[in-house]
Structure 1
Amino acid sequence: MIESWIHVLNLAGVAVCAISGTLMAFQKRMDGFGVVVLASATAVGGGTLRDMMLDLPVFWIEDTDYLYVTCIAALITIIWLRLTSLFPYHYLLVADAFGLALFNVVGIEKALGTGAGMAVAIAMGTITGVFGGLLRDVICREVPLVLSGELYAITCIVGGGAYALFYTLQLPDIWCVVAALVTTVCLRLGAMRWHWELPVFRSE
């Protein structure tokens, strides 16, 4: 049962991140090929790195449904954007937040499925969540969200901590998943709304 839910979450994460990549491509006025590249990099970049690090078959090569979902999500977003003249930057950030949370959970579950420890699983969840967005921002020559501004990767780590807490309490897997999702999304959206940061250097 939980495997089916994880598959659905992974598909949802791919779709949401493809939308995020397409919105960024729209902002940068890319052509059709640029949209495909950016949507795909955002959607499957993190999962690809995770699978390579865990020495597993790359998920979108093993199951091409993820590529179809990426293309469909990008196409629907393009059609919607052609019907409006405004760039929905806020929607880009919200879509990114949900994609971050979905991929965080998928990465944790996949790592645990290989027998990895919880610390490694949280690291894999964070990598899965942030690397696609990192690729997107680097390709677009933007300062990556993960490296500046409001809390980003930290939200994945805290969400992973919530998962670990419920897992330690031996609660059903679905509650571990829900705890990680809710924690990551709420913390990221809260950081966006109230500008929560982890300052290291003093302001001038």
Structure 2
Amino acid sequence: MQPLFIDNLIYFIDLLGTVVFAFSGVLVAGRLKMDIIGVLVLAAVTSIGGGTIRDLLIGATPVFWIKDSHYLLTIALTAVAGMGIARVQHRFPWYLLPLLDAVGLALFVVIGAQKALSYGTSGIIAVIMGCITGVAGGVVRDILAGEIPMVLRKEVYVTACLLSGSIYVILLDVGLGHVASMFVSMLSLLCVRVPAIFLHLSLPTFHLGKDD
């Protein structure tokens, strides 16, 4: 049994990640001039899509947002607040969405890995589940928005998730506490992803030869 403090901290981080990713969904919906249903759908799939896939894969059913309606309430409130903010601030800097996405990744990768470990998975599977928790919602969001998902672009994206999840699992294995492991893991992702955003860093691309 984990201490109550750890459980509450994990829950808070999960809800914070829900808010961050939901707001990123609102930004995409606003850019595409969607109606309120479209806003809610993009906010929801971005924030709970990855966690839903994770829970189904590790057998954590019913999935988290069905057992706890606070997640849906958080998404709805974030969508309403986001639309209100967008009406006041009509234009946002180009880096806002990638930064929100980076923060959401940092929060959700560690949450996904932690939950997978709590269901008895190996460390490697926990890292994969952390990546799925972080990126899958954004993939669905981008597909619905008619964009190439970030995970398929040249950006340093999944690499940062793999690094963060691996650091979390390794630190737990060597005996570091849950809280320290979580924050070091989240910080490591931000230290990789944020500079990549502003410096436009990318991974080498795979190319078979010259185009015809």
User: Does the TM-score normalized on the shorter chain lie above 0.5?
Assistant: yes
Match of 1:6 in 2: 10
Give matches, 1:3-82, under 5 Å: 3-57=7-61, 58-82=63-87
Contact map agreement 2:95 2:197 (CA 8 A) in 1? no
Distance in 2 of aligned mates of 1:117 and 1:201: 31
Match of 1:94 in 2: 99
Distance in 2 of aligned mates of 1:35 and 1:13: 17
- What root-mean-square deviation, in Å, do the aligned CA atoms of Structure 1 and Structure 2 show? 1.3
Question: CA offsets, 1:100-159, max 9 Å, x none?
Answer: 111101101000101111100000000000000000000001010011031111111000
Distance in 1 of aligned mates of 2:89 and 2:200: 29
Q: In the TM superposition, what is the alpha-carbon distance from 1:89 to its structure 2 partner?
A: 3.4
Gaps of 5+ in 2: none
Q: In the TM superposition, what is the alpha-carbon distance from 1:79 to its structure 2 partner?
A: 0.4
Q: In the TM superposition, what is the alpha-carbon distance from 1:35 to its structure 2 partner?
A: 0.3
Contact map agreement 2:45 2:137 (CA 8 A) in 1? yes
Corresponding letter in the other structure for 1:64: S
Question: CA offsets, 1:5-63, max 9 Å, x none?
Answer: 11011000111000000000011111111001110010100000000001112000010
Distance in 2 of aligned mates of 1:121 and 1:161: 9
Per the normalisation by structure 1, the TM-score is 0.96
Q: In the TM superposition, what is the alpha-carbon distance from 1:194 to its structure 2 partner?
A: 1.7
Match of 1:189 in 2: 194
Per the normalisation by structure 2, the TM-score is 0.92
Contact map agreement 1:46 1:128 (CA 8 A) in 2? yes
Q: In the TM superposition, what is the alpha-carbon distance from 1:197 to its structure 2 partner?
A: 1.8
Contact map agreement 1:99 1:129 (CA 8 A) in 2? yes
Distance in 2 of aligned mates of 1:64 and 1:152: 30
Match of 1:144 in 2: 149
Distance in 2 of aligned mates of 1:88 and 1:67: 28
Which structure's CA Rg is the greater one? 2
SS of equivalent residue, structure 1 residue 89:
coil
Corresponding letter in the other structure for 1:193: F
Runs of 4+ in 1 over 3 A off after TM superposition: none
State the percentage of identical aligned residues: 38
Contact map agreement 1:27 1:87 (CA 8 A) in 2? no
SS of equivalent residue, structure 2 residue 120:
coil
Contact map agreement 2:6 2:179 (CA 8 A) in 1? yes
SS of equivalent residue, structure 1 residue 171:
coil
